[in-house]
Amino acid sequence: MNIFVSSLSFRAKKEDLAELFAPYGEVTSARIIINRDTRRSKGYGFVEMPNESEGNAAISALNGSEHMGRTISVAQANDRPAREEY
């Protein structure tokens, strides 16, 4: 399950994100989206959890919670639209 996390602290690292979700189950990846020009966090990221019920438990528990001084939003990520080939 791919999980979208927004309103993250700009100081948050991918290890912080993985640690936040670890109590709810296995985390296969965690990443924070970085602005290419400034090399700073954009304030959101994604967490991959292979077990859907664990992912849903994490979403329920963490949505609206506080992390590093910010109230975060957690939801199931939308699938990326397929890119058209030219």
CATH of the domain at 14: 3.30.70.330
Band (79; pLDDT cuts 50, 70, 90): confident
Q: Does 86 map to a domain?
A: no
- What is the count of structural domains for the chain? 1
Q: What is the pLDDT of residues 3-61, one digit of tens each?
A: 999 999 999 999 999 999 999 999 999 999 999 999 999 999 999 999 999 999 999 99
Q: Does 85 map to a domain?
A: no
Band (82; pLDDT cuts 50, 70, 90): low
pLDDT at residue 75, rounded to an integer: 97
Strand order in the sheet with 41-48: 29-34, 41-48, 2-6, 73-76
pLDDT at residue 80, rounded to an integer: 72
Cα 67 from Cα 49, distance rounded (Å):
19
